[in-house]
Amino acid sequence: MVSKIYALVGGWDFKPRDLGLSVYRYNSEDAALDYMDTYFPEVCVGQQFLDNERRMVYITNECDSLPGKIGGGGSVLAIEIDGESGKLSLLNRKASLAVKPSYVWVDKTKRYALVPHHGGRGHVTKILRKAGGGLTSETLFDDAALVLFRLEADGSLGEPCDALITPGKFPNPVHALSHQHSVVGDPSGSIFIVCDKGTDEIYSLRIDYKTEKLVLLDTAASETGNAPRYSVFHPVLPVFYSNNETNPVLSAYHYDKDSGVLTPSGELPLTAGKRKTEDGKTIMPSDIVIEHGGRFLFVSLRDTETIAVVALDGAGNMELRQTVNCEGKNPRGLTLSPDEQYLFSLNVGSDNISAFVVAEDGTLSFTGKMTKALCPGTMKFVTV
């Protein structure tokens, strides 16, 4: 029987500032979140992966520079959770090797962690001396890489053992840079999906456990300018869904569990075909979560400050069921409670977390509860 539930809330912002990982005590009867403490304030939490069985959470520090240095990329932290007190303690931390580690996922064997990197948006120009005399120049960009880390027996981060670097298409002005933004594993644990905002592509891959290498299986091209951001797998069907950061359309793909071949299988407009608000802002989907039975999913939409509820039929086909106000600004993250009775919107722009009741058909109703939180961007529940 569950006696305690903690919520881990990661603070995220573009500006360097104290953010960190905060712990709240969660009451499942009324969706209340009671603040307890904040840890690792120097960390801008890009994403979390919870290993509830081992009482551990892995987080990325989504930044450009290592502590006390210029550049060097971000880092990944392995953190232990005390079940009795809810206190957090750092097990270890590793440099992620590239700029802005944007996600973290642990494979089903718990032997490896996968960390994609968004990379920067700028460039540097270097002057080079030619071998035969004279001068030339070279343009360099940050690597967008999926880095594979070993995990030790105690869950701590080991050494990186491989990296899948996805080059941009410079000098193509639209796809000049690759921006890997997320990685998730399918229910079987054999296939992983990476969304690349920069090249408008989605990659499927697997881990070769004998060689400790990442194996690229297939690449699916999204519409130019879509910027695929996050994805979720259907719990039963060989289908996953991807939202697109600069086009409020939900995309569905079929994947072959053996070969990893990706096939587009449908699209659903989330805003009646509108890509911009009345004042000209681009409507930007942010997070996506799916109900454990695969009956419906939720997508947060920035600038319209809304949450879209999408119904899924037995074949995984999509239908827009409802759109509700997120009760805040910039809903960067969405999280279902452990019993899926509530959906929480993490509104990074208004420093609050809003709670919604999830009806049997997936529709949402605001509970009236809002919790203050500093730039909340991601939340995971720890059950004890």
- Check if the beta carbon of residue 73 is closer than 8 Å to that of residue 64: yes
Global pTM value: 0.96
Question: Is 44 inside any structural domain?
Answer: yes
What does the DSSP 8-state code read for residue 314?
Answer: T
What's the pLDDT at 286?
Answer: 98
| Beta carbons within 8 Å of 326's beta carbon, 6+ residues apart | 300, 305, 306, 307, 345, 347, 354
Pick left, alpha or beta for residue 331 (phi over 0 → left; psi -120 to 50 → alpha; otherwise beta): beta
- Please report, rounded to a whole number, the percentage of residues in the chain having pLDDT higher than 70: 99
Question: Is 78 inside any structural domain?
Answer: yes
Question: Is 334 inside any structural domain?
Answer: no
Q: 59: closest CA among 32, 24, 28, 19?
A: 19
| CA 303 to chain CA centroid, nearest Å | 19
**Class of residue 2 by CB neighbours under 10 A (exposed 0-12, middle 13-18, buried 19+):** exposed
Q: 92 forms bridges with which residues in the sheet?
A: 78
| Beta carbons within 8 Å of 70's beta carbon, 6+ residues apart | none
Question: Is 271 inside any structural domain?
Answer: yes
CATH code assigned at 170: 2.130.10.10
**Class of residue 45 by CB neighbours under 10 A (exposed 0-12, middle 13-18, buried 19+):** buried
- Total count of domains within the chain: 1
What does the DSSP 8-state code read for residue 276?
Answer: B
Task: Say yes or no to pLDDT of 16 above 80.
Answer: no
What's the pLDDT at 172?
Answer: 80
- pLDDT tens-digit map of 19-34: 999 999 999 999 999 9
List the structure tokens of 249. 């359309």
Q: Which domain holds residue 159?
A: 5-280+367-383
Average pLDDT score over residue span 122-145: 93
What's the pLDDT at 2?
Answer: 58
* Structure-derived torsion over alpha carbons of residues 358, 362, 368, 371, reported in degrees to the nearest 10: 70
Q: 101 preceded by cis ω (within 30°)?
A: no
Question: Is 193 inside any structural domain?
Answer: yes
Average pLDDT score over residue span 205-231: 97
Tell me which of 120-134, 206-220, 241-255, 351-365 is least confident: 120-134
- pLDDT tens-digit map of 289-339: 999 999 999 999 999 999 999 999 999 999 999 999 999 999 999 999 999
At residue 52 the predicted structure's pLDDT band, cuts being 50, 70 and 90, is: very high
Q: How far apart are CA 50 and CA 380, in angstroms?
A: 7
What's the pLDDT at 1?
Answer: 54
Residue with tokens 């049997």: 360
SS3 160: strand
Q: 379: closest CA among 342, 349, 335?
A: 335
What's the CA angle centered on 313, arms 307 and 29, to 5 degrees?
50
Question: Is 69 inside any structural domain?
Answer: yes
Question: Is 318 inside any structural domain?
Answer: no
Question: Is 96 inside any structural domain?
Answer: yes
What's the pLDDT at 163?
Answer: 98
SS3 305: coil
